[in-house]
Amino acid sequence: MLNRKQPPAFRTIDKINVIRATHEKLENGIGYYSVSAGSQEITRIEFIFRAGMYHQPATLIASTTNTLLESGTKSYTADQLSDGIDFYGSFLELQVEQDFATITLFTLNKYLDESLAFIEELIKYPVFPENEFRIHIANRRQKHTINSQKVNVLARRKFTGLLFGNKHPYGIEVHDEDYDRVNVEELMAFFRARYTFDNCTIIAAGNLPTGILSTLNKFFGKEKWGGSAAPARKEEPEITTTPQQKHFTLKDDAIQSAIRVGRVLFNKTHPDYFKFQVLNSVLGGYFGSRLMANIREDKGYTYGIGSGLNNLVRAGYFYIATEVGADVTVPTLTEIYKEIRALRENPIGSSELETVRNYMLGNFLRSVDGPFALADKFKAIWEYGLDYDFFDRYFDAVKAVTPHDLQALANEYLQEKDLVECVVGKM
């Protein structure tokens, strides 16, 4: 008989075995990775292109191109595409990030062929109808205008420009006049250069049906499709972080102020990445962090505050983000710098470190539950040219890091003179 008054024994996580993706190639050379797991007869297929905002020649082009892929093709109107995909119980998701653009299909295994026929159309033969383009741009412009009244949106836009420079692809900001400039010809040129077979990678996950590689070959592997791939940049754009530390944008009608504090740092390929993630968790990376305990729980200045290390393929940046009452903006900044200074001056206690360690390892364990999560984990290393030993090194570093290591990292990377502060609202 189970004794429900007796809690289960506490055990530390010693090792996590991650189901690995299998690598194959389509007949035309497209890289294909598969994670076969789970019991439901559902498959998720991601078509990944190096067609993110970093690669666009001007603002709005990457995101608009990706969104309008489903607005009409050589054989189908937008409604026919949508109705056809829905008819088979499938779901389509289009997404653009800084470095990559993705087209993701969720489908029942028994309707894989029927669903992929529509995906082939929108990947190979979109037509970017002028009327759909105009509607999309009008909607985007209106959304941009509305969001430009929100302090958190304004702070986020301004912050990356301060870190990377407003001409760097990671820092460039969209302005109202950009919506008048962009046109269908630019979208077509970007599509022909970026949505090509030799710029495509496919990741499939789920209880994969037998013969899925043959099916993918039928639709995407028999020929060299797409235009001529765009040449790589001759030179990487220079990161020009602002030399001015503090930046304030007044918004008279603001009830809250949005705060961003951070700096350009590194991504997950850097040797200090793993240990810095532990330091970040202590500071603001989970609900029990120091920033949350101080600024939310003790002071009551905000509903939430957090910090993180944002990974980009060619860089990374550390940030602290929150929205607080306009009347407590200055006290909040004081407390933020106080918590950072404490990490530099005093070693983290062993009990606090152990709590963070267990949180991070437990969180990792939850993040590899199910085939889609396993594929996401693989994608997160594939994007950076890393292998599965990344997870072993992460696990080992989290378990081995010491209070002295974290204090040394805080002194190296979290000096106040190196941090950029961006506030939008009232001081």
Token output for 247: 């930046």
Q: Residue 387's closest CA among 20, 102, 48, 13?
A: 20
Query: Does the pLDDT at position 290 exceed 90?
Result: yes
Q: Residue 382's closest CA among 27, 93, 50, 44?
A: 50
Average pLDDT, rounded, for the chain: 94
Cα 211 to Cα 93: distance, rounded to the nearest angstrom: 24
Cα 396 to Cα 207: distance, rounded to the nearest angstrom: 31
For residue range 17-42, what is the model confidence (pLDDT) as tens digits? 888 999 999 999 999 999 998 889 99
For residue range 408-421, what is the model confidence (pLDDT) as tens digits? 999 999 999 999 99
- Per-residue pLDDT at 248: 96
- Per-residue pLDDT at 24: 96
Beta strands in 66-133 (DSSP E): 91-96, 101-108
Q: Residue 314's closest CA among 95, 99, 49, 159?
A: 99
Strands 200-206 and 42-49: antiparallel
Mean pLDDT of 211-218: 96
Q: Name beta bridge partners: 250.
A: 425
Query: Does the pLDDT at position 229 exceed 80?
Result: no
Burial call 362-386: b when 16+ CB within 10 Å, e when fewer: eebeeeeeebbebbbbbbebbbeee
Token output for 364: 């990792």
> In 10 A of CB 324, how many CB atoms?
25
Q: Name beta bridge partners: 259.
A: 322, 423
* Contact in structure between 319 and 336 (CB atoms under 8 Å): no
Query: Does the pLDDT at position 231 exceed 80?
Result: no
Max CA separation in the chain (angstroms): 72
Task: Give the pLDDT band of residue 78 (cuts 50, 70, 90).
Answer: very high
Q: φ and ψ at 266, to 5 degrees?
A: -135, 170
Task: Give the pLDDT band of residue 148 (cuts 50, 70, 90).
Answer: very high
Query: Does the pLDDT at position 133 exceed 80?
Result: yes
Structural domains of the chain sorted by starting position, each given as residue range(s) with its CATH number in brackets: 22-221 (3.30.830.10), 246-425 (3.30.830.10)
